[in-house]
């Protein structure tokens, strides 16, 4: 994936949507799928505001085993329903190979979470598929380690990889993580793969999502992964960093100004 051997940007075709080209990909939705009403309502709202993908976790790798672990199979079914109703392609995390066939059939972008970035057996299996993969940076991983994890997928033959900066652990504890915006130009220099930024996990604070989303696109990101919820106060996961649907609508309006001034599209 080295720029030297591959000077042009890779554009990944996800169900007819190109990621890594002129158009900014906006992947929005709740941290976790919680109910039929919740996912359908959020999906319709983010679609109306211009999101291009629906995100939502069904299998959740949580730090504590006592936290909500996701609706699992039922969550996937609800995502499929939301896709059917809105037409939005799906981004959702895989946590084990057990459901790989199900993901290949129904998920448009398979997310590998920060905790699994160095799960090499999982990466190799995903490399044998041709599905687009959203590979998130581990919270203690260097850019080089992220690129090497992408390489594990590529050597098996799957070049459809989108890299995601989602914040790293530093001594600063005001924010949940430190969003490393300098990773965007760094990755762009080293690799031809598209880069997406997740300001929700990157900051852990809902009111920081908009400024960091705007900054990420200004710095050259090809897309955003944003947690949006219809009732963040009562969310089962990551409510504190989730923006409400009306806030997402206004974020998209501001984003449009930046995107247009860069000669890109949204």
Binding site for ligand PEP (CB under 6 A): 31, 57, 113-115, 136, 166, 201
Nearest to 133 by CA among 105, 104, 155, 172: 104
CB of 185 to Mn ion, least distance (A): 26
Q: Which does 30 bind (CB under 5 to 8 A by kind): Mn ion, ligand PEP, none?
A: none
Which of residues 80 and 115 has its CB atom nearest to ligand PEP in the complex?
A: 115
Contact call for residue 31 and Mn ion (CB under 5 A): yes
CB of 194 to ligand PEP, least distance (A): 17
Contact call for residue 226 and Mn ion (CB under 5 A): no
Q: Which does 131 bind (CB under 5 to 8 A by kind): ligand PEP, Mn ion, none?
A: none
CB of 93 to ligand PEP, least distance (A): 6
Contact call for residue 238 and Mn ion (CB under 5 A): yes
What's the length of the chain? Answer: 266
Q: Which does 83 bind (CB under 5 to 8 A by kind): Mn ion, ligand PEP, none?
A: none
Tokens of 57: 């976790």
Sequence-ordered list of residues with C-beta below 8 angstroms from that of 211, at least 6 positions apart, any chain:
none
Which of residues 165 and 238 has its CB atom nearest to Mn ion in the complex?
A: 238
Burial 60-84 (b: 16+ CB within 10 A, else e): beeeeeeeebbbeeebbbbbeebbe
CB of 166 to ligand PEP, least distance (A): 4
Which of residues 57 and 75 has its CB atom nearest to ligand PEP in the complex?
A: 57
Strands 12-14 and 17-19: antiparallel
Q: Which does 136 bind (CB under 5 to 8 A by kind): Mn ion, ligand PEP, none?
A: ligand PEP
What's the Rg (C-alpha) of the chain?
17
Which of residues 3 and 115 has its CB atom nearest to ligand PEP in the complex?
A: 115
CB of 31 to ligand PEP, least distance (A): 5
List residues binding Mn ion (CB under 5 A). 31, 238
């Amino acid at each position: 994936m080295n720029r030297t051997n591959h000077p042009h940007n890779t554009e990944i075709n996800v169900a007819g949507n190109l990621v890594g080209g002129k158009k900014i990909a906006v992947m929005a939705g709740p941290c976790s799928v919680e109910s039929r009403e919740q996912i359908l309502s959020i999906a319709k709202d983010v679609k109306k505001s211009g999101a291009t993908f629906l995100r939502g976790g069904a299998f959740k790798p949580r730090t504590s085993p006592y936290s909500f672990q996701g609706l699992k199979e039922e969550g996937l079914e609800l995502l499929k329903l939301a896709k059917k109703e809105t037409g939005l392609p799906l981004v959702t995390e895989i946590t084990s190979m057990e459901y790989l066939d199900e993901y290949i059939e129904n998920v448009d972008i398979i997310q590998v979470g920060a905790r699994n970035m160095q799960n090499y057996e999982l990466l190799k299996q995903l490399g044998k598929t041709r599905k687009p993969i959203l590979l998130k940076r581990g919270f203690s991983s260097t850019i080089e380690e992220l690129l090497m994890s992408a390489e594990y997928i590529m050597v098996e033959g799957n070049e459809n990889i989108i890299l995601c900066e989602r914040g790293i652990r530093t001594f600063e504890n005001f924010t949940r993580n430190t969003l490393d915006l300098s990773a965007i130009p760094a990755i762009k220099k080293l690799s031809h793969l598209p880069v997406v930024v997740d300001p929700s996990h990157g900051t852990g604070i809902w009111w920081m999502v908009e400024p960091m989303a705007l900054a990420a696109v200004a710095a050259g990101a090809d897309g955003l992964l944003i947690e949006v919820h219809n009732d963040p106060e009562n969310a089962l996961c990551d409510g504190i960093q989730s923006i409400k649907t009306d806030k997402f609508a206004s974020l998209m309006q501001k984003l449009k100004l930046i995107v247009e001034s860069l000669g890109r599209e949204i």
